[in-house]
Structure 1
Amino acid sequence: MWLVERMGAEVSAQSYTREQRQRYREKVRQNLDVFERMLTQSSFEFDRPMTGLEIELNLVDADHQPHFHNAEVLEAIADPGYQTELARYNIELNVPPRPLPGDAAIELENDLRASLNAADAAAARVGSKILAIGILPTIMPEHYEGDWISRNNRYTALNDSIFLARGEDVYLDIEGPTGERVATFCDSIAPESACTSVQLHLQVAPHEFANHWNAAQAISAVQLALAANSPYFFGKRLHAETRIELFTQATDTRPVELKNQGVRPRVFFGERWITSIFDLFEENVRYFPTLLAEVTDEDPMAKLEAGVAPDLAELRLHNGTVYRWNRPIYDIVDGTPHLRVENRVLPAGPTIADVLANAAFYYGAIRVLASADRPVWTKMSFAACEENFRRAARDGIEARLYWPGFGEVSADELVLRHLLPLAHEGLKAWGVSDAVRDRFLGIMEGRATTGLNGAEWQTRCVTHFEGEGHERREALRLMVERYAGHMAGNEPVHTWPVP
């Protein structure tokens, strides 16, 4: 099984000496040299491309406030597929990889619903309820004043390393379209824990990696626009997908002066189209200082020369601390290495049906975009791609995006006229059944046609409750209560009634 944790494996220390950091840098560079050699000499697994899925989840109490009891919840669930996350009100579900063809997605939907229902029943025994939503709307600054961080060395080490690099508190400054704004200093990376996402993995051949990564970058804005589900943070209506800007700011290792110098942020969209997976790993090593300096005894070159795939643990650990929205992954299963594109764009929720619709759209569209004779990235500047991403995060389903051949067009029109037919074509090429395509791409069509995604539903719902005279916090609580009921029913969000 793939190891697909957001923050990665446990580490042994919470802080590192200067000597440890120097040794780690040397080892990372050695790993990079070996990886470059592997790309030209080694055999990677790609004959049967696999897909994988991670869903990050929130825990709430009976009043739909964050419930900081993930250790007790995980003990009650007693399923290794559920794991700890950064904050004590977060858990994560890792879904075993499986092939795409046939009715696999419908089978997965049934399996995930059964798994989450069982997990939710177990969580209820310790007073928790599981909620899939991009940012929990009821999280407030005071919730981070207590013991918020999960009991895991890696999270503490990461928090300490980020603040050691910054040398000062994090300043969050996010303003929404109506002027609502969060502007506050934070003395930990706690706000990052508010960002819960879905990660999609696709195993690809080394020579096809660049095309798939470029395609994933190109389509990331459309993913965001259609799936936005994070409009509220600290009680304010901010971006349609506030998770993007919040994650960027909350984990920023740069003080203001380094930002002014143009130093790259740790949450990195990228700055160019690539020609090889090596471009991304090499950028990570060249641009980004060490955060977690765990060193192993592995001699990667000796293992490679002995015909054994090296772990490259230091390179992989470093890669896991550079938060690209489409991240390159090197991994080994049963002794054979493989490469994956990890798509980290999507928010969690609203339902399993919506999550799998988002996944079907991504896997179908990327199949066609990556194999086009004249790919979209040869006709669009990288700067235009990044601007699309920012617009989609800010404006959601109402975003206007640039696309070659269409010019500037609304996200819903781009999906309906162009990308949805491509997704159908791509899934068909994967061997996906008509039933799967009709169900999940039908959900995407419904969302684009109605203009109703998670962010839009949340906003309309809160506006309604405020119109009835409720204060913002109570309106958010009532909205989350209603959201939780709809989520349990698994009807896609575009069919949810707005009160």
Structure 2
Amino acid sequence: MVIDVRSSLTVMGGHMGKDLAKSVFAPEDRIRYRRKVHRCLDVLDGLLDADVFDTGTGMTGLEIEINLVDADAEPVMRNAELLADLGDSRFQPELGRFNIEFNAPPRKIAPDGFGAFEKDISEALRTAGERAGKADSRLALIGMLPTLTPEHLVLANLSDNERFRALNDEIVAARGEHFPVDIRGVERLRSASGTIVPEAACTSCQFHLQVPPEEFARYWNASQAVAGAQVALGANSPFLHGRRLWAETRIALFEQATDTRPDEFKAQGVRPRVWFGERWITSVFDLFEENVRFFPPLLPLLSEEDPVAVRAGGGIPRLHELCLHNGTVYRWNRPVYDVMDGRPHLRVENRVLPSGPTVVDLLANAAFYFGVVRRLAESERPIWSRLEFATAAANFRSGARHGLDATMCWPGLGEVGVTELVQETLLPLAYEGLDRFGVHPAERDRLLGIIEGRCRTGRNGSTWQTAAVRAAEDRGRNRGTALREMTLRYLDLQHLNEPVHTWPCQPVAAVRRAPPDPA
């Protein structure tokens, strides 16, 4: 899961990144920054009332986070070396030295944008994989690397990057004590850390969808409504530190590993920075205003831009400070303000899904999300007028915890299994939504057929991983060996780019090459 301050610091100019390493933020820095954030918010309010935004719908983007592993599926701390060798700006460092991220160039998905995404992503990963192979490394698209141990998630393995170091320092200072982790799933994990580096265990895939300002609330509300089904379908993170926890443990770990609130603040109702939210919205302004009202700044970096003066002169300000602050509030569906070719636009950034298992699985997840959200957003009777927000939040937790075995509440259906909800209700909406985007029927059917296949077989990345580990343990392997065998087999199958619901659960290759554990 990306700690996303990169884009905001980039648009501030290169000198900001250099200054960041030397910054010691004084109280007056925070006061000036807070005042400027409020000015940015006022300017955004005025922009929303003016006819200046790009009103196009259908431009999409994908960000894919990747782990680096060695021949034994152990994490490799070489992202800087690999990125330097690649020299490709689409690849960026992530929080841990064993993480990188690929940013697919944005495009419309009509008529054959998914095919173009698949080609771009596959070719880029093939090149990166070849370069990694020269250093005896491999790429792993997975929600949580099963071979990670607490010894890997230490400050020495934080990426050598000023923004990550500064953010770690600020979050640690805001917390004022260690970050406890207590995840109760099939098994239980308790640990603690004095840094945010454990968050590097969370590797995700984010979808971006550009929408007009007047429709933003509908798309964000729709994204929140389906988040539970989304995470249940795409769950791919069942193991952490040798324990089987949630189907999508990444959700629980990210919430806990960067929680700046001590227990007293939680008891007082202070909002967490990793946040589902607490209400449906009527405007994108609601989200930016909540972020400013509820959350103190973490990185009070000031740009030279005067947003009021820029707007008064007829220009379009970049609202640097507001965007930077927005990037340090980790909503599962986040608003994004950006300026391209002199025109501002808005995007929903959907952040609920893990990376992997394959490129085609990621694109099936994207097709489902884009399709069902468009159809719900354009519904005459909005789903959020019939679904309590607290119920949507509970659905999200259920999907993350139980995956394809989750039960959810849905208007008109009551309590229903998530696979039935998807097959009978949401998939038909996704087909209609992709038709409205103008996606070619063959691409639509291929990708949504993968979602149907997961529901029919009851297999996604999480269930495949747990079944493969269980099979290895039934053969006498201990948990550590079973996880390593499973991960190696996972990487072999990932390379084939066949949907995970078609993967065999018995890791035959791993059985042949791994000796039995000693008694």
TM category (shorter chain) comes to over 0.9
Residue among 135, 141, 154 paired with 2:144: 135
| Deviation of 1:48 (Å) | 5.2
| Deviation of 1:139 (Å) | 0.5
Residue identity matched to 1:61: D
In the aligned structure 2, how far is the partner of 1:42 from the partner of 1:251?
Answer: 38
| Deviation of 1:146 (Å) | 6.2
Residue identity matched to 1:318: H
Residue among 112, 118, 121 paired with 1:112: 121
Residue among 73, 76, 89 paired with 2:98: 89
Matched, 1:404 2:411: yes
8 Å contact kept, 1:76–1:125: no
Matched, 1:246 2:249: no
- After superposition, give the CA deviation of every residue in 1:370-427 in whole Å (9 maximum; x if it has no partner): 0111111000110000000011110001000011011110010001101101000000
CA RMSD after TM alignment: 1.1
- SS at structure 2 position matched to 1:198: strand
Give the corresponding residue for 1:294: 301
- SS at structure 2 position matched to 1:309: coil
In the aligned structure 2, how far is the partner of 1:242 from the partner of 1:224?
Answer: 11
8 Å contact kept, 2:3–2:95: no
Residue identity matched to 1:181: R
Give the corresponding residue for 2:76: 67
Matches within 5 A, 1:134-283: 134-145=143-154, 147-177=156-186, 180-283=187-290
Residue identity matched to 2:44: F
8 Å contact kept, 1:5–1:94: no
Residue identity matched to 1:114: E
Matched, 1:8 2:15: no
User: Which moves more between the two structures, 406-415 or 144-153?
Assistant: 144-153
Residue among 446, 451, 459 paired with 1:452: 459
Residue identity matched to 1:407: G
Report the TM-score, using the length of structure 1 for normalisation.
Answer: 0.97
User: Which moves more between the two structures, 20-29 or 108-117?
Assistant: 108-117
- SS at structure 1 position matched to 2:157: coil
Residue among 5, 17, 28 paired with 2:26: 17
- SS at structure 2 position matched to 1:264: coil
In the aligned structure 1, how far is the partner of 2:63 from the partner of 2:439?
Answer: 21
Residue among 395, 408, 428 paired with 2:435: 428
Give the corresponding residue for 1:28: 37
Give the corresponding residue for 1:349: 356
Matches within 5 A, 1:40-55: 40-47=49-56, 49-55=58-64
- SS at structure 2 position matched to 1:254: coil
| Deviation of 1:361 (Å) | 0.3
In the aligned structure 1, how far is the partner of 2:72 from the partner of 2:327?
Answer: 35
In the aligned structure 1, how far is the partner of 2:55 from the partner of 2:486?
Answer: 44
- After superposition, give the CA deviation of every residue in 1:95-128 in whole Å (9 maximum; x if it has no partner): 1110111112122212211111111001111222
8 Å contact kept, 1:72–1:126: no
Give the corresponding residue for 1:122: 131
In the aligned structure 1, how far is the partner of 2:52 from the partner of 2:415?
Answer: 43
Residue identity matched to 1:7: V
Instruction: Name stretches of at least 5 consecutive residues in structure 2 with no aligned partner.
Output: 10-16, 507-519
In the aligned structure 2, how far is the partner of 1:66 from the partner of 1:47?
Answer: 41
Instruction: Name stretches of at least 5 consecutive residues in structure 1 with no aligned partner.
Output: none
- After superposition, give the CA deviation of every residue in 1:472-499 in whole Å (9 maximum; x if it has no partner): 1111111000000110000000000011
| Deviation of 1:42 (Å) | 4.1
In the aligned structure 2, how far is the partner of 1:185 from the partner of 1:104?
Answer: 43
Residue identity matched to 2:373: I
- SS at structure 1 position matched to 2:182: strand
Mark the CA change 1:146 to 1:32 in structure 2 (over 3 Å): closer, same or farther.
Answer: closer
- After superposition, give the CA deviation of every residue in 1:412-448 in whole Å (9 maximum; x if it has no partner): 0001101101000000111000111111000000001
8 Å contact kept, 1:77–1:123: no
In the aligned structure 2, how far is the partner of 1:156 from the partner of 1:498?
Answer: 40
8 Å contact kept, 1:326–1:345: yes
- SS at structure 1 position matched to 2:53: coil
Residue identity matched to 1:355: L
Matched, 1:477 2:477: no
- SS at structure 2 position matched to 1:484: helix
Report the TM-score, using the length of structure 2 for normalisation.
Answer: 0.94
- After superposition, give the CA deviation of every residue in 1:140-195 in whole Å (9 maximum; x if it has no partner): 01112462001111111111111111110000000112xx2111110111110111
- SS at structure 2 position matched to 1:147: helix
| Deviation of 1:8 (Å) | 1.9
In the aligned structure 2, how far is the partner of 1:148 from the partner of 1:444?
Answer: 36
Residue among 472, 480, 486 paired with 1:465: 472
In the aligned structure 2, how far is the partner of 1:410 from the partner of 1:396?
Answer: 10
In the aligned structure 1, how far is the partner of 2:154 from the partner of 2:50?
Answer: 52
Matched, 1:56 2:65: yes
Residue identity matched to 2:382: P
| Deviation of 1:7 (Å) | 3.5
8 Å contact kept, 1:73–1:128: no
- Percent identical among aligned pairs is 54
Give the corresponding residue for 2:315: 308
In the aligned structure 2, how far is the partner of 1:146 from the partner of 1:286?
Answer: 31
User: Which moves more between the two structures, 180-189 or 219-228?
Assistant: 180-189
- After superposition, give the CA deviation of every residue in 1:180-234 in whole Å (9 maximum; x if it has no partner): 2111110111110111101000000000000000000000000001110000011
8 Å contact kept, 2:141–2:355: yes
In the aligned structure 1, how far is the partner of 2:293 from the partner of 2:3?
Answer: 24
In the aligned structure 1, how far is the partner of 2:171 from the partner of 2:327?
Answer: 14
Residue identity matched to 2:242: G
In the aligned structure 2, how far is the partner of 1:483 from the partner of 1:497?
Answer: 10
- SS at structure 1 position matched to 2:64: strand
In the aligned structure 1, how far is the partner of 2:5 from the partner of 2:302?
Answer: 17
8 Å contact kept, 2:41–2:289: yes
Residue identity matched to 2:378: S
